[in-house]
């Protein structure tokens, strides 16, 4: 049996686990920013987001199991569960330990989302950004394959995608608020204009048989009727 078998398994599961975690974060950002419209549907994105998060937990567990079983580089339970306890690249391994705790916390609270206050769940879920960057630097500093050209390009493109979607996520609500303020201002101006027109149209002078000369006969035309007539055509309720 190859003495490096478990080490190779640990390397492979670590890379796959990071890729699944990155995909889950990107899927979550696509879901929250609503950049993907039509097909795939948001419900499909939510299901994929949950699937990727669960798969990341599974491969992370396999990664830890392989490290414990490995005899090429010896890791004990304390090395993998206590930050800076490992003598092999303690800083890089500590980032992995922190990533593990964040991942478990986020997944457990996601499963218990219906039983938690929404603000509490939201704040915990926002730590997924910290989880992504901690896991990414763990991959760069501790991964023996991080120097491979494919790994470098994959990390760079993934990080750039997360940064872009994060900026969209942060800036989109501001643009929405500004757009909403402009729409509200336009609607208020239009309402005043319609109200003035309705006020003018309420009283009109009517002449004809039975009307005394010089007497105003007021015909009432409700303003609500005028506004209703100018409203966009739509399905009747």
Structure tokens at 150: 């494919």
Provide the pLDDT for residue 195.
54
Provide the pLDDT for residue 73.
79
* Residue 36 banded pLDDT, cuts 50, 70, 90: low
Determine, yes or no, domain membership for 204: no
* Residue 40 banded pLDDT, cuts 50, 70, 90: low
Which domain does 113 fall in, by range?
A: 5-159
- Of residues 36 and 155, more confidence is placed in 155
Provide the pLDDT for residue 197.
52
Provide the pLDDT for residue 1.
61
Per-residue 3-state assignment (H helix, E strand, C coil) for 121-153:
HHHHHCCHHHHHHHHHHHHHHHCCCCCCHHHHH
pLDDT per residue as tens digits for the range 170-227: 887 665 445 444 544 454 454 555 555 545 444 444 455 554 554 444 444 443 343 3
User: Worst-scoring range by mean pLDDT, 18-32, 92-106, 196-210?
Assistant: 196-210
Q: Give me the chain's average pLDDT, please.
A: 78
Closest by CA to 99, choosing from 129, 62, 69, is: 129
Range 42-76 burial, b when 16+ CB lie within 10 A, else e: eeebeebbbebbebbbebbebbbebbeebeeeebe
Determine, yes or no, domain membership for 111: yes
| Rounded Cα gap, residues 110 and 125, in angstroms | 8
Give the global pTM.
0.71
User: Worst-scoring range by mean pLDDT, 43-52, 106-115, 132-141, 155-164?
Assistant: 43-52
* Residue 123 banded pLDDT, cuts 50, 70, 90: very high
Determine, yes or no, domain membership for 180: no
Determine, yes or no, domain membership for 152: yes
Determine, yes or no, domain membership for 216: no
Q: Would you mind telling me the total number of residues written for the chain in this entry?
A: 237
Burial label for 175, CB within 10 Å (0-12, 13-18, 19+), is: exposed
- Of residues 38 and 129, more confidence is placed in 129
Provide the pLDDT for residue 117.
93
Residue 24 has pLDDT above 50, yes or no: yes
Determine, yes or no, domain membership for 220: no
User: Worst-scoring range by mean pLDDT, 43-47, 59-63, 83-87, 163-167?
Assistant: 43-47
φ/ψ of residue 173, rounded to 5: -60, -35
- What domain count does the chain have? 1
Determine, yes or no, domain membership for 217: no
How far is residue 144 from each of residues 85, 152, 205, measured CA to CA in Å?
Answer: 20, 12, 91
Determine, yes or no, domain membership for 149: yes
Provide the pLDDT for residue 175.
54
- Of residues 228 and 70, more confidence is placed in 70
């Amino acid at each position: 049996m190859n003495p490096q078998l478990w080490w190779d398994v640990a390397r492979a599961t670590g890379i796959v686990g990071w890729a699944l975690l990155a995909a889950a974060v990107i899927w979550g950002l696509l879901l929250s920013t609503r950049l993907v419209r039509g097909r795939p549907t948001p419900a499909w994105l939510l299901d994929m987001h949950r699937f990727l998060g669960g798969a990341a937990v599974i491969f992370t567990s396999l990664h830890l199991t392989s490290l414990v079983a490995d005899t090429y580089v010896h890791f004990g339970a304390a090395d993998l569960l206590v930050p800076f306890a490992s003598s092999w690249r303690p800083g890089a391994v500590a980032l992995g330990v922190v990533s593990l705790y964040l991942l478990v916390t986020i997944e457990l609270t996601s499963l218990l989302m219906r039983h938690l206050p929404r603000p509490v769940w939201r704040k915990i879920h926002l730590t997924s950004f910290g989880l992504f960057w901690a896991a990414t630097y763990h991959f760069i500093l501790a991964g023996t394959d991080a120097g491979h050209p494919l790994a470098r390009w994959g990390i760079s493109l993934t990080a750039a995608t997360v940064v872009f979607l994060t900026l969209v996520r942060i800036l989109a609500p501001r643009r929405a608020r500004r757009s909403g303020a402009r729409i509200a201002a336009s609607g208020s101006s239009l309402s005043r204009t319609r109200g003035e027109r309705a006020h003018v149209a309420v009283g009109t002078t009517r002449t004809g048989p039975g009307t005394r000369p010089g007497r105003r006969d007021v015909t009432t035309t409700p303003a609500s009727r005028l506004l209703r007539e100018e409203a966009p055509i739509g399905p009747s309720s």
